[in-house]
Amino acid sequence: MLYLWLKALHIVAIVCWFAGLFYLPRLFVYHAMSEDQLSRERFQTMERKLYRGIMMPSMIATLLFGIGMITMNPGLFATGGWLHAKLTLVIVLIGYHHLCGAQLKRFARDENNRSHVFYRWFNEFPVLLLLAIVILVVVKPF
């Protein structure tokens, strides 16, 4: 029963994390387009609160619940090639998360040198990761 609770909480944490991963780069799009100081300050506040208040705790919870599930079912490592691929993509996702954090700091220092078009493309990367991760978990192709 504990395993099912961990799985449920893992899924909830993933949903919260991805909500932030989808929204923060969208905020970057609008921030890059803003021309007045008041708007830039407002976006800086929104970005900081989203990253620190939602994304970081959600990422940590996702990882802790995932580690808990693996600890309770270590046999997955022996038979689940899909799990190795998923965990590799999760590591990439963590890297993307930290790239978002680095970009947030650049915006906070008013050092952004990228256009809103860059952030529109940057915003699509977590969609691809989510698609691949869900297919690996549900279909388990190998």
Which one, of 24, 22, 40, 21, lies nearest residue 32 by Cα? 40
CA distances, 39 to each of 7, 13, 15, 102 (Å): 40, 30, 28, 20
Three-state DSSP at 36 gives coil
Contact 77, 67 (CB under 8 A): no
If you write DSSP's letter for every residue of 43-98 in order, what string do you get?
Answer: HHHHHHHHIIIIIHHHHHHHHHHHHHHHHH-TTHHHH-HHHHHHHHHHHHHHHHHH
Type of residue found at 3: Y
Enclosing H/E stretch for 2: helix 2-33
Q: What pLDDT tens digit does each residue of the chain (142 aa) get?
A: 999 999 999 999 999 999 999 999 999 999 999 999 999 999 999 999 999 999 999 999 999 999 999 999 988 888 879 999 999 999 999 999 999 999 999 999 999 999 999 999 999 999 999 999 999 999 999 9
pTM above 0.85, yes or no: yes
Calpha distance 48→127 (Å, rounded):
22
